[in-house]
Amino acid sequence: MTQEKSIQNIPTLVAIIMDGNGRWAKMRGKARPEGHIAGVESVRKVIKAAVAEGIKFLTLYTFSTENWGRPQEEVDAIMELFCRSVIAETPELKKEGVRIRIMGDRIAFSKKVNAYIDRIESDTAEGEALTVVLAMNYSSRYELTATTKDIARMVADGTIKVEEITSEFISQHLYSKDYPDPDLIIRSGGEYRLSNFLMWQAAYSELYFTPTLWPDFDKESLREALEAYAGRQRRFGLVK
Ligand code: FPP
């Protein structure tokens, strides 16, 4: 096997909007949940590839707060797929040194889904190679609304003064507080938007869009995105 050349300037946190499962299924005359089943295969491949590339954090937009409005069978299929994946994937994730964390409001999940979340978070807690953050029942506006309420309460009960609210303070109270901001955000499926994903955290992220539908996204697709990122010049609002 030929040794692949390593890429310079690997991003610390890559976030992915995994879009295109439904269209992938439709093109094959299959029901939408079949697209999500194929999408899990891509998740598996991309996690493995992310470990190999030396990425430290991978945040995956798995289920948005808006996704509850999809047909009930599709919502149920995604939840079931999550639970099944927890059982099927945990041994390999542990072997690869992958830690799984869930980011989002867990209140809306069933007892069963919450139990699987607890299970995968505790079973993989020791993983040090890569942290995979599954954004579930997550959206930026929901997160920012929840954080605003938390901070307002702190001001109201005298825990903090208004002057203490800085941009860093807000970042430290978001659902994403334990992770760095994304260096690179990838969206598969050919659309050019953020769809309520990490809008605060994306302030200086590099964006990469590909027409590849998520079930067709693989390690080569990740490599192409990383190569594009390596060629970008990040200035963070400054001059070079
Ligand atoms: C977007 O495709 C995809 C989702 C809303 C769900 C993503 C879920 C998975 C990949 C499976 C579950 C994941 C884990 C980690 C167990 P879409 O349905 O919006 O596609 P479309 O735009 O073609 O309709």
Q: Residue 3 pLDDT > 80, yes or no? A: no
Alpha-carbon span 29 to 206, nearest angstrom: 35
Residue ID of nearest Cα to ligand 1 atom 6: 62
Say if 155 falls within a structural domain. no
Q: Is the pLDDT of residue 168 over 70?
A: yes
Q: Decide if pLDDT at 5 tops 80.
A: no
Total-model pTM:
0.95
Residue 17 lies in a domain: yes
86 in a structural domain: yes
Q: With respect to residue 217, please indicate whether it lies within any of the assigned structural domains.
A: yes
Report pLDDT digits (tens) over 88-98.
999 999 999 99
Amino acid of residue 163: E
Domain contains 146:
no
pLDDT at 198: 98
Q: Which residues contact 61 (CB under 8 A, 6 or more apart)?
A: 15, 16, 17, 18, 135, 138, 195, 197
For the question of residue 137 being annotated catalytic, the response is: no
Q: How many domains does the chain have?
A: 1
Q: What is the mean pLDDT of the chain?
A: 96
CB 65 within 8 A of CB 143: no
- Flag whether 161 is in a domain: no
42: domain range?
A: 13-139+180-230
CATH number where 45 lies: 3.40.1180.10
Q: How confident is the model at residue 1 (pLDDT cuts 50, 70, 90)?
A: very low
Instruction: Tell how far the Cα of 121 is from the centroid of ligand 1, in angstroms.
Output: 21
Cβ–ligand 1 contact at 189 (below 6 Å): yes
Tell whether the model's pLDDT for residue 15 goes beyond 60: yes
The amino acid at 86: V
